[in-house]
Amino acid sequence: MSSYFTDLAQQYIDGEWRPGTGSWDIIDFNPYDGEKLASITIATVDEVDQAYRASARVQREWAAAGAYTRRAVLEKALRVVEEREAEITDVIIAELGGTHAKAAFELHLAKEFLRESMNVATRPEGQLIASPVEGKENRLYRVPVGVVGVISPFNFPFFLSLKSVAPALALGNGVVLKPHQDTPVTGGTLIAKIFEDAGLPAGLLNVVVTDIAEIGDAFIEHPIPKVISFTGSDKVGRHVATVCAAHFKRTVLELGGNSALVVLDDADLDYAVDAAVFSRYVHQGQVCMAANRVLVDRSVAEEFTEKFVAKVRSLKAGDPRDPETVIGPLINSSQAEAISSVVEQAVAGGATALVRGGVRDNLVEPSVLTDVPADSPLLKQEVFGPVAFLVPFDGEEEAVRLVNDTPYGLSGAVHTADVERGVRFAQRIDTGMFHVNDGTAHDEPLVPFGGEKNSGVGRLNGESGLDAFTTLKWISIQHGRSAFPF
């Protein structure tokens, strides 16, 4: 594994591995023990420009190579991932603080989406559209947008980078990827290496490891990329959207969430507890779809709470290299401090801590809070860490109001013995996704993924990927002569 952090601690521009020319380095740390994994000299504005120009230079030839050529490269990339699963697992654990279970979950999703991207390559179809003009033939072509800029986050960097990179490449585009500075290898250069070894033409995919302190808005303002796919916070997403709109760029924005898991009065409580604990604490709660809020009908709240608290207390927190560990570290000290502050703020505001986890460096143990005042801003914001808010409600009407009382609208879940009751409930929630009798954290290759309100704009996956990374072109043919009015 160590060779990954040695060999891949570089920029990947125009098919070459090389150091950046910036004046400072990004230091890549293991978030659990503070070990220095790598030091990467950052890319400059000039290197971002080189990356985009390289991708644009190669892209037309790649698009012309045809769907089956592109599919073959994606197929090889999948084989490379499968062959290197053990090493990639070690990288996820070391760089993200992900547990073994989290790494397996991320790799499973990554492989599923690579398989779907192979199919996406052959999916674009044209149309013949009827014309009111005699002799006119209207053809509609679906063509690549050209070059796509991808900005990926730190929480599921391998999967969430591939989620945009793979379909964009499959559809004939070039890509420049900017991974999060806390996960430059897992979310960036590792992906470049996989595609390089799979035979992707040099220059088509580029990875720039850098920071806005060095490049400002150069990555999203650059004239070459026609689409920017961003996954991250709604605050940064709002800025990305504003800048891109000013430059007439399309955006796909997968942003934050404040999902709720709702337990109705007829739910299977043991099952609902399992779903709620996973939905809140998977990857230490650093998941946009995580169930920040667990809403429970007051008639079953006492029993549910007792079971929920017991299960949370059983979660082992510690070294993510230990296969028994469920809760590993948060990604950095800023995140750890922010989550500690949330718990302190909630308790100071009147909340009761049923479980109050300890904090050691970046390791933040799970907390469970109840009696949070109804007007607390904590119930409306995203909490990116292992803190659950238990909120009782009286009847479905109140539950619907509480679930929707947030600026976010990404995911959610409801538990009930009556499936159609669950569907009717889900239809009343202002989210892009909602699940009946399951957890809140799901993603599937064919199903449109995305949110409403502050949770984003646009969708990814399946047919939505075609809309994200291609554009439509009308070509008309006049058989015979047109009649012009002058």
The catalytic residue positions are: 254, 288
Torsional class of 116: left (φ above 0), alpha (ψ -120 to 50), beta (otherwise) = alpha
Long-range contacts of 75-80 (CB under 8 A, 24+ apart): 75/118, 76/197, 76/198, 76/199, 77/114, 77/166, 77/194, 77/195, 77/198, 77/200, 78/111, 78/114, 78/115, 78/118, 79/198, 80/194, 80/197, 80/198
3-state class (DSSP) for residue 311: helix
DSSP 144: E
Which residues lie below 8 Å from residue 364, measured CB to CB, with a gap of 6+? 284, 329, 330, 336, 339, 340, 357, 385, 386
3-state class (DSSP) for residue 264: coil
For residues 11 and 205, the answer to whether their CB atoms sit within 8 Å is: no
For residues 115 and 442, the answer to whether their CB atoms sit within 8 Å is: no
Torsion 65-71-76-77 (CA) sign? positive
Question: What is the distance of C-alpha 236 from the center of its chain?
Answer: 14
Give the chain's count of helices (H) and strands (E).
16, 24
Nearest to 429 by CA among 258, 272, 270: 258
For residues 388 and 280, the answer to whether their CB atoms sit within 8 Å is: yes
Tokens 């499959």, residue? 170
Give the end-to-end CA distance of the chain in Å, rounded to a whole number.
73
Q: Is 347 exposed, middle or buried (0-12, 13-18, 19+ CB in 10 A)?
A: middle
